A and B are shown apart, each in its own frame.
Chain A
Amino acid sequence: NTKITQSPRYLILGRANKSLECEQHLGHNAMYWYKQSAEKPPELMFLYNLKQLIRNETVPSRFIPECPDSSKLLLHISAVDPEDSAVYFCASSPTGGAGNERLFFGHGTKLSVL
């Protein structure tokens, strides 16, 4: 799926600050960040619809999302913790949780915390 691009693909961090980026070329209104830990299903972190944050799950405050426009999504991470090691997926859907949401996922960013 090249219509949702995420960067970087791999990220190895000590206790540094970093940002994950996502861009979708599908014309969708809603964008999501999901976290997938090893051998687990994806868990929703944040949901934006038309640049507005409408779902903000229980996520440590060191994760700060940003949606500069409806096609771009950022995830700023400060002072990562080893429990943050996971794959972070960006996803998008035509409308923000209007019901029949067909989510399209990017390839993910694999974060490894040293």
Chain B
Amino acid sequence: GEQVEQRPPHLSVPEGDSAVIICTYTDSATAYFYWYKQEPGAGLQLLMSVFSNVDRKEEQGLTVLLNKKDKQLSLNLTAAHPGDSAVYFCAVSAGFASALTFGSGTKVIVLP
């Protein structure tokens, strides 16, 4: 089945700097890609979703890049601020009745 590797597991980012989280998936049939944010004691909040025909998507200080050739998905946080401190998960899905397969998560701490 699908496997998703996410790195790095931890990331400390000075406020105002950028941070990059990378996920690598294995199933070439994977068609849907997501990034979720989880704050302490809370559920997962969907940040962005992209379909496989999109290489780049930008929304509200976040950039998602999809490299289908290398089966790699990345999230770039630009100009990090303390509110960005959380655990970030990538997730992928192959389509109908395919549940999300999550990466292992990246704990991001934004340093003031």
Contacts and interface: CB of A to CB of B under 8 A. Distances in A.
Instruction: Judge: A and B partners, yes or no.
Output: yes
Interface of A: 1, 4, 32, 39-44, 47, 54-55, 57, 89, 91, 96-108
Report the 3 A-B pairs with minimum CB-CB distance, sorted nearest first. A105-B43, A41-B102, A97-B97
Nearest to B42: A107
Given A41-B104, A44-B100, A89 B93 contact: no
Contacts, number: 64
A101 B104 contact: no
**Taking chain B's interface residues, is the majority helix, strand, or loop, or is none over half, making it mixed?**
loop
Contact of B45 (A1, A39, A54, A98): A1
B62 to A, nearest CB: 16
Interface residues of B, number: 23
A97 B97 CA distance: 4
Nearest to A9: B41
